[in-house]
Chain A
Amino acid sequence: MSSVTLENISKSFGDFNAVSGVDLRVSEGEFVTLLGPSGCGKTTTLRMVAGLEQNTGGRISIGSDVVSDAARGLFVPSERRQLGMVFQSYAIWPHLTVFENVAYPLRVRRRPSAEIGERVSKALLLVEMEGFAQRPAPALSGGQQQRVAIARALVSEPKVLLLDEPLSNLDAKLRLQMGEEFRAIQKRLGMTTIYVTHDQSEAMALSDRVVVMERGKIQQIGAPEEIYRFPTKRTVAAFFGTPNLLDAEVEGCERLDGRRVRLDVVGKGWRGSCEAADEARPGEVVTVMVRPEDTRIVMADSGAGEQELKWSGHIAHTTYRGAIRSVVVQTENGRLTVDAAASCNYAIGDNVNVVAHRRAAWAIRKDEALI
Chain B
Amino acid sequence: MPVRASTWRRSRPPILRGPAIAVIALVVILGFLSVYPLSMLLYGSLHSTPPGMAGTFNLDGYQEVMTRQNLITLLNTVGISLAKTIPSVVIAVVLAWILARTDTPFRGTLEVLITLPFFIPPILTAMAWGMLGNPQVGLLNQLFQWATGSSSAPINVYSYGGVVWHMMQYSVPFLFLLIVDAFRAMDPSLEEAARMCGAARWRTFRTITLQLMLPALTGAAILSFIRGIENFESPLFFGSPAGIRVITTDIYDSINQRSPPQYQYATAASFVIMVLLFLIVLLQWKLLRGRSFTTVTGKGYSPGVIKLGKWRWATFAFCVSFFFLTVVLPIGQLFIGSFFKFFGFYQWDMLTLDHYRAVFGSSEFWRGLGNTMYLGLAGASLTMVLGGVVAYVSVRTKWRGRLLIDAMAWLPWMMPGIVLGVGFLWGFALLPHAIPIYGTIWALLLAYISLGTPLSVRVMSSSYAQLSYDLEECSRVHGANWLQTMWRVVIALAWPSFAIGWVLIFFGIMRELSASVLLYSVGSEVLSVVLLKLWANGNAEQVSVIGLIMMALVLIFRWVQLKIMKSQLGTLRA
Contact = CB atoms under 8 A, between A and B. Distances in A.
B574 A138 contact: yes
B484 interface: yes
A153 interface: yes
Contact of A93 (B4, B471, B573, B574): B471
B474 A64 contact: no
A79 B3 contact: no
Given A64-B2, A80-B8, A87 B473 contact: yes
A14 interface: no
A84 interface: yes
A138 B574 CA distance: 6
A61 to B, nearest CB: 5
Given A64-B1, A138-B572, A139-B574, A89 B470 contact: yes
A202 to B, nearest CB: 21
B476 A78 contact: yes
A307 to B, nearest CB: 47
A50 B493 CA distance: 24
Contact of A109 (B3, B14, B479): B479
A187 to B, nearest CB: 23
A162 B481 CA distance: 19
Contact of B492 (A87, A95, A139): A95
A108 B488 contact: yes
A85 B481 CA distance: 16
A126 interface: no
Given A52-B477, A80-B8, A87-B473, A63 B1 contact: yes
Interface in B376-413: none
A113 to B, nearest CB: 16
A100 to B, nearest CB: 10
Given A74-B10, A80-B8, A95-B492, A61 B478 contact: no
Interface size class of B (residues with CB under 8 A): 20 to 34
Contacts of B151: none
B470 A104 contact: no
Contact of B13 (A50, A72, A75, A94): A75
A166 interface: no
B6 A5 contact: no
Contacts of B6: 65-67, 74, 76
Contacts of A65: 4, 6-8
B480 interface: yes
B12 to A, nearest CB: 7
Find the residue from A50, A64, A78, A80 having the highest chain B CB count within 10 A: A78
A79 B4 contact: no
Contact of B478 (A64, A84, A89): A84
Nearest to A74: B10
Nearest to A61: B3
A75 B14 CA distance: 10
A156 B477 CA distance: 11
A64 B5 CA distance: 8
B15 interface: yes
Nearest to B489: A93
B571 interface: yes
A220 interface: no
A117 B504 CA distance: 41
A72 B6 CA distance: 11
A79 B571 contact: no
Contact of A76 (B8, B479, B488): B8
Given A72-B10, A87-B474, A95-B492, A108 B15 contact: no
A310 to B, nearest CB: 53
Nearest to A7: B3
Nearest to A137: B574
B478 A85 contact: yes
Interface string A82-125: 11110111110111000000001101110000000000000000
A110 to B, nearest CB: 10
A65 B4 CA distance: 6
Contacts of B7: 65
B3 A91 contact: no
A136 interface: yes
A77 B477 contact: no
A231 interface: no
A51 B5 CA distance: 17
Given A65-B8, A75-B13, A95-B492, A108 B470 contact: no
Nearest to B493: A95
Interface in A35-85: 50-52, 61, 63-67, 72-85
B3 A66 contact: yes
A108 B476 CA distance: 10
Contacts of A85: 474, 477-478
A65 B484 CA distance: 24
Contacts of B474: 85, 87, 91, 93
Contacts of B475: 93, 104, 108
A138 B477 contact: no
Contacts of A67: 6, 8
B3 A51 contact: no
B468 interface: yes
A63 B481 CA distance: 22
Nearest to B492: A95
A104 B572 CA distance: 19
B3 A64 contact: yes
18 contacts: A3-B1, A51-B477, A52-B473, A52-B477, A61-B3, A76-B8, A77-B14, A78-B476, A81-B477, A85-B477, A94-B493, A95-B571, A105-B478, A105-B480, A108-B475, A136-B571, A138-B574, A139-B574
**8 residue pairs, one from A and one from B, having the closest CB atoms:** A91-B470, A91-B474, A105-B478, A78-B476, A108-B480, A77-B13, A85-B477, A87-B470
Given A65-B8, A93-B471, 20 more contacts: A3-B1, A51-B477, A64-B4, A65-B4, A66-B5, A75-B13, A77-B14, A79-B478, A81-B477, A83-B478, A87-B470, A90-B470, A91-B474, A93-B475, A94-B571, A95-B572, A108-B478, A108-B479, A109-B479, A156-B479
Interface of B: 1-8, 10, 12-15, 468, 470-471, 473-481, 484, 488-489, 492-493, 571-574
